[in-house]
Amino acid sequence: MRVLLLGGHGKIALRMTKLLAAQNHTVTSIIRNQDHVQEIQQLAPPQNASLVKPVVASIEEADEEAARKMMENIDWVVWSAGAGGKGGQERTRAVDEYAAKRFMKAALDAPSVKKFLMVSASCARRSPASYWDEEDIATYKKAWEAIPVYCDAKTIADEFLFTESRKTQKEFEDIHLRPGTLTDEPGTGKVNLGRAKQSGSICRDDVAAVAVELLQKGGAGGLWLDLIAGNDSIKEAVEKVVSQRITAKE
């Protein structure tokens, strides 16, 4: 498949690029900084360097036309971009909400695009989940107190993707992957995916592996999937949420 990866120099995106290219998918990686081009290119398999194509462009500054142009001849889109707390509340809105919505609309309008995977966050919800305990609820409230604009922007983006995807007439999967606290520990391959606790963490290796498995598996459209470390293998976890239509959206 031809994959457009937005926010290509992020830690999850770098891992996803390597995994996707290893599976013979072509990855167009959108990055802001020319200095990162070589680093991105080195993620391609040695025998097929053409599978990874870094493109220097500003997601934040891309207008609707630029976003539409990036969707040409693309099958799958991955949103792994974010302001990362830099530039204050205004930039958080500009990237995590406004730009995300622009690219979602462009993907829905593009004839070739069949899937859009959103790397969201488990705090991105309007109220605590019905299946959480007191510790989970306290963790959720703390996140909204500490970074309210980020949580709200991610929630709005998820809601927009879900709502607009229900309106399209074409074959399309909106996949909402919502990891807990991120770590750089080595991947374990063991996760809790779907209706997970809020007070848990997950390593970026495993987030990337779950994202790629969801894209390749198919059938995850419309699912909001919270993700923390757990006991299920990634393949089993993805199979379970897809076959049973398990979602964290309430």
Whether pLDDT at 86 is above 80: no
Q: Does residue 89 belong to any structural domain of this protein?
A: yes
Are 172 and 113 in contact, with CB atoms under 8 Å apart? yes
**pLDDT tens-digit series, residues 43-58:** 999 999 999 999 999 9
Q: Does residue 250 belong to any structural domain of this protein?
A: no
**pLDDT tens-digit series, residues 157-190:** 999 999 999 999 999 999 999 999 999 999 999 9
Q: Does residue 90 belong to any structural domain of this protein?
A: yes
pLDDT of residue 84: 74
- The residue-averaged pLDDT of 89-114 equals 96
**pLDDT tens-digit series, residues 136-164:** 999 999 999 999 999 999 999 999 999 99
Q: Does residue 249 belong to any structural domain of this protein?
A: no
Whether pLDDT at 31 is above 80: yes
Q: Return mean pLDDT, the chain.
A: 96
Residue at 206: amino acid letter: D
Among residues 249, 212, 204, which one has the least CA distance to residue 228? 204
Whether pLDDT at 85 is above 90: no
Q: Does residue 159 belong to any structural domain of this protein?
A: yes
pLDDT of residue 203: 98
pLDDT of residue 83: 78
pLDDT of residue 87: 76
Q: How far apart are CA 148 and CA 154, in angstroms?
A: 10
Q: What is the CATH number for 168?
A: 3.40.50.720
Q: How far apart are CA 194 and CA 223, in angstroms?
A: 8
- The residue-averaged pLDDT of 31-40 equals 96
Q: How far apart are CA 224 and CA 61, in angstroms?
A: 28
Radius of gyration of the chain from Cα atoms? 17
Q: Does residue 23 belong to any structural domain of this protein?
A: yes
pLDDT of residue 88: 86
**pLDDT tens-digit series, residues 117-142:** 999 999 999 999 999 999 999 999 99
Confidence of residue 41 (pLDDT cuts 50, 70, 90): very high
Whether pLDDT at 14 is above 90: yes
Task: Please tell me the total count of domains within the chain.
Answer: 1
Are 74 and 110 in contact, with CB atoms under 8 Å apart? yes
Range of the domain at 134: 2-244
